Amino acid sequence: MKGKASRQGIHFRPHFKSHNSAEVAKWFEEAGTDAITVSSVTMASYFAAQGWKDITIAFPLNIREIDKINLLAGQVKLNLLIEHSETISFLVEKLKFPAGFFIKIDTGYNRTGISPNRTDLIDQILHIASIRKDLFFKGFLTHSGQTYQASGRTEISRIHKQSTVILRELKNYYKILFPDLWLSIGDTPSCSVAEDFEGIDEIRPGNFVYYDLMQVQIGSCDYRDIAVVVACPVVAKHQERMEIVIYGGAVHLSKEFLNDQNGTRIFGMITEFHESGWSEPVKNVWLASLSQEHGIISSPNSEFFDKATVGDLILILPVHSCLTANILEDQIII
Amino acid sequence: MKGKASRQGIHFRPHFKSHNSAEVAKWFEEAGTDAITVSSVTMASYFAAQGWKDITIAFPLNIREIDKINLLAGQVKLNLLIEHSETISFLVEKLKFPAGFFIKIDTGYNRTGISPNRTDLIDQILHIASIRKDLFFKGFLTHSGQTYQASGRTEISRIHKQSTVILRELKNYYKILFPDLWLSIGDTPSCSVAEDFEGIDEIRPGNFVYYDLMQVQIGSCDYRDIAVVVACPVVAKHQERMEIVIYGGAVHLSKEFLNDQNGTRIFGMITEFHESGWSEPVKNVWLASLSQEHGIISSPNSEFFDKATVGDLILILPVHSCLTANILEDQIII
């Protein structure tokens, strides 16, 4: 991903929420990354304590955390995310150190951000911010999360194109007043699939560090790109239902699921170790349900069922690696 | 719940997985509870370290954790859960201290446990266990988790009756060889609704400590019984969609959801503080979607929408309090 950003001549600011790990962060550092994205003030503080000096908190500013934000702004090069005049007014009044800010633009995901045709709201924010000379307008930031609902590379590319067209128009509109403003995009599907980043200054993908079954289904990656499994012990087997019970539940994997082409809920798929890594998902076997600590694997595949023994470890490819990694950060299961 | 157990003359062994908190555990201790249920060896070790001396791990024995199990068996009165001859053989060979065990019976939930008509499998386990005089057969344990799919008190009562009939038949069958064997049941819906516990020796409910929206939907409790909310800051508002964005996502609440009568997914409902506690759910407002850190509240209720201001705290009643409490155990959000 870093190579792709370099080839395109754009800044690489990976999102660290997907791993939230000081160790994985070191791999990025060794590869030359020096700027990061996080999704909470807590996460920013964590990575600041590890020595990261250039951090964007890509989450609408929570004014209740102003004290921690001020601490951070005194320590690192901090960028905040704004989409309301109330928030920027608060910041103008309370910020104690220099900071940058992006304005969040909604390019079609409809989760957060200002609609791009509401330049009146954007102008209002910029006007309020201009009171402070140490509060820098960095540019426009979006997260085209609608790509997470896409069904294939063509749809991802179409969404990416729409988003970048919208952002470029905004840049053109504001470039006389702000000639150095940046456009920052983030979603892993677009960053994985797209080749045309015209006008874009920065990418912030996160999930790509592990990928997962959802990204395979969307079309961002292939199974062999998934870089995380959860090893779960077999604790019971039920021949009459061809089910294997594992110690691995919602508190380990999260309750995220996919629907396969028959509408069956898939909470994870199963892979096996090979010399060169792990296999493609085992056919005709899937993680069919999760309760708090239990997982139930359906295995009409009798060869797999027969081989599984109480005490074995079964390797689960997660549906959404960000949630799984978040939950398992501090846990070791043996 | 403790009062109900006392009145019925049955043993109360609450499940601590729902709170997993030393502080909440103290409330139970102060109310005279001295025996507990947990769902993992890790949780057993945690509560053993807090001084709890009588612990049932109501999860099929994970043989890979035998070293930690031996440590515990040397410290507390420990009960384990068995449903396979391989597991009991392993235990007979490796257990270093006295312990009790329950045999898990599947009374219709079809998740784990031995089918009650497979007395051949039960006999096999009892035969293997009899080699060790310090491995005590305590009785039969079930979790009628199918009550979590029930739609009302009548269905809960019907499931409870079916389960207890099955268990009593097993007790009758084995009482000559094991006159002191216990029957232990667990699910919160049955324990909340049922009044007939004939033949049952122990209840192990957990969720009742907080209850949640799922339990209201099932019929276990009323809204005013829910004893946990998550306070989430408002970070953005979108008038055109009547949506409020909160800092409160899947990593705080879990992705568990309910479907309302129209099939709308509900990830949480909203309550408000009153002098005497919190209100019934605010009408025409619900937590409509969750991403990793964001929650989106749909508020066709314009009075509620207009009142909400960036920086306010909104109180979310969770769908599944066990998962929410598990995730938020060590986190404070301000």
Q: What is the pLDDT of residues B269-300, one digit of tens each?
A: 999 988 888 899 999 999 999 998 999 999 99
| Residue B31 confidence (pLDDT) above 90 | yes
Burial-class residue B106 by CB neighbours within 10 Å (0-12, 13-18, 19+): buried
Name the token pair of B56.
């049932």
| Touching A: B residues 194-233, CB under 8 Å | 233
User: Are A229 and A278 a contacting pair, CB within 8 Å?
Assistant: yes
Nearest to B235 among A60, A238, A296 (CB): A60
* pLDDT tens, per residue, chain A with 334 residues: 999 999 999 999 999 999 989 999 999 999 999 999 999 999 999 999 999 999 999 999 999 999 999 999 999 999 999 999 999 999 999 999 999 999 999 999 989 999 999 999 999 999 999 999 999 999 999 999 999 999 899 999 999 999 999 999 999 999 999 999 999 999 999 999 999 999 999 999 999 999 999 999 999 999 999 999 999 999 999 999 999 999 999 989 988 999 998 999 999 999 998 888 889 999 999 999 999 899 999 999 999 999 999 999 999 999 999 888 877 875 544 3
Nearest to B323 among A238, A241, A251 (CB): A251
B327 at the A interface (CB within 8 A)?
yes
In a 13 Å sphere around the CA of B232, the CA atoms on its Cβ side amount to: 32
Q: How far apart are the first and last CA of chain B?
A: 33
Per-residue confidence (pLDDT) for residue A330, from 0 to 100: 58
Q: How far apart are the first and last CA of chain A?
A: 33
Phi and psi at residue A313, to the nearest 5°: -100, 130
The C-alpha of A197 sits at a distance from chain B's nearest C-alpha, in angstroms, of: 26
Question: Helix, strand, or coil here: A286?
Answer: strand
Per-residue confidence (pLDDT) for residue B278, from 0 to 100: 87
- Kindly report the pTM of this predicted structure: 0.91
Per-residue confidence (pLDDT) for residue A333, from 0 to 100: 40
Query: Is A291 in Cβ contact with B145 (below 8 Å)?
Result: yes
| Touching A: B residues 34-53, CB under 8 Å | 39-40
The C-alpha of A75 sits at a distance from chain B's nearest C-alpha, in angstroms, of: 21
A121 at the B interface (CB within 8 A)?
no
Per-residue confidence (pLDDT) for residue B330, from 0 to 100: 57
Nearest to B255 among A64, A256, A334 (CB): A256
Per-residue confidence (pLDDT) for residue B121, from 0 to 100: 97
CA distance A260 to A307: 25
User: Are B104 and B141 a contacting pair, CB within 8 Å?
Assistant: yes
**Chain B partners within 8 Å of A255 (Cβ):** 254-256, 323
User: Are B218 and B324 a contacting pair, CB within 8 Å?
Assistant: no
Question: Helix, strand, or coil here: B137?
Answer: strand
Give the count of beta carbons closer than 10 Å to the beta carbon of residue B45.
18
B61 at the A interface (CB within 8 A)?
yes
Query: Is A251 in Cβ contact with B255 (below 8 Å)?
Result: no
CA distance A149 to B124: 51
Mean model confidence pLDDT for chain B: 94
Looking at residue B281, the DSSP 8-state letter turns out to be P
Nearest to B241 among A110, A233, A247 (CB): A110
Distance of CA B90 to the CA centre of its chain: 28
